[in-house]
Amino acid sequence: MKVNPEMFRAYDLRGLVDKDLNPEIVEHLGRAHGTYMKRKGITEAVVAHDARPTSPEYSDALIKGYNWAGIDVVDIGLNLVGTFYWSQYYLQKKGGAMVSASHNPIDYNGFKFAIDYSETLVSDGMKEILRMVQEEDYEQGQQPGKLAQQDIRQAYFDDIIKRLPLKKKFKVVVDSSYSTSGSVAPNLLRQAGCEVIEKYTEVKPEHPFGTPDPTEHELVKRLSKEVLEEKADIGFTYDPDGDRIGIVDEKGTIIWNDVLVALFAIDVLKDHPGAKIMFNTLCSKVVPETIEKYGGEPFMWRTGHSFLKKKNQEVKAAMIGELSGHFFFSADFYNHDDGLYSSMRLLHYLDRTGLTLNEALQQLPKYISSPEIKLYCADDKKEALMEELGPILREKFPEAEVIDDERAGDGVRLDLPDSMFIVRYSQNGPYLTIKFEAQEQAQYDMLKQYINELLHEFDEIDWSNKINVNHDALE
């Protein structure tokens, strides 16, 4: 079957609705992944989907393909991806898929293909699924697989609350931007004993505010205003599949998630002294400095939740964190990202220390930091652009460490004693991600001007594209 090969990305599939994806193509994906699972000895799967307009239809088509291949399926319906991963353990199903394009615009949809507990297909596995679809290398089951529906949310809530009980009654704002998390997060937090103020938690598949991205400045600025108006202890927001979070403290301070990695590291190291903490190359220097201060071992690795999960099978880090808001509490929970567990983990830390979030943040080193900036660059040009940057930065900053080896993976990071910046290309869409920071304002302003001028030299970057996020931070 002819399909767009660019849909098959490094750790999931993302395609345009009615162009790259339709129910027929999705059924073929189900046949391919179903066959792939059977060849690995997996005959049972779980399927969940987010609230995008096409997700229920695509979920049905995928299940149809699985059943054709002889795979038995438990459909857990509308849920977040962390709940999907958790359900693998609860239902004892290694295989399955989450139907979602995460934070991509609403005209996209996609799939995370599970192949083991907390593990999804990455590079070579995705290439194999592409080959199987192109060649229609499928094996029909001797008999069709069975389909069952099961509501597992309450069991999931019970497990999270048992692991992370709260004594304090936190006042919490949840702003879901009309996405999937609005149907899940408030219920969990209320059952945990929180007073929950809901903002835009009605599920509207068309995402009237645009597809929510917790790294987008406008979204967290709105959350900040809501927290201050409600005199709340904390504010939470999530992306559409709920594996990433955005946080605002009681003073309305926007907490970028690499700072939250450092805070979580303090919490984890209290229970796991000397443990490794893994973080991605986009993270602030605050992270390794804090890990070392509290007796842990910092380990930096390339960006991408599946790459980090895969590497952690070797590294055995107690926790993993990303700037984008993916957190994995591997030593205490499972080796996957779950925005609701992360939310509860933060509240549990504040509960047991007696600190407000703002007070907790005062423990950390201080850097002036940009938000996560996204700039459009076509999929067929972004990788070559990265290869040009390393030599340019080595010449401009001979005193710096320029990291463009396997630790960076798909980008270039420059580290100076008092500052850093990184440029990388996304594995999920046609854009670059940029982040920079410094201890002093003058150095921050210098980096901002330099990066802005440097990137404007490349015609491959479209500064007016609608996919851009926070690009005003470079002005």
Tokens 């004993």 correspond to 193
Distances 23 to 78, 105, 131, 149, 226 between C-alpha atoms, Å: 18, 19, 19, 20, 40
In the chain the first and final C-alpha atoms are separated, in Å, by: 46
How far apart CA 420 and CA 404 sit, in angstroms, is 14
Would you call 457 helix, strand, or coil by DSSP?
Answer: coil
Residue in the block written with tokens 């991205």: 213
**Catalytic (active site) residue 370:** no
Residue 221's contacts (CB-CB under 8 Å, 6 or more residues apart) are: 254
| Maximal CA-CA distance, the chain | 69
* Alpha-carbon separation of residue 58 from 108, 138, 164, 203, 299 (angstroms): 12, 19, 35, 18, 38
Bridge-partner residues for 376, per DSSP? Answer: 431, 462
Radius of gyration of the chain, Cα coordinates, nearest whole angstrom: 22
297 alpha-carbon distance from chain centroid: 23
337 in helix, strand or coil? strand
Given the residues 102, 224, 330, 419, the one annotated as active site: 102
CA distance 129 to 30: 10
Structural contact between residues 266 and 241, judged by C-beta atoms closer than 8 angstroms: no
Catalytic sites, residue numbers: 102
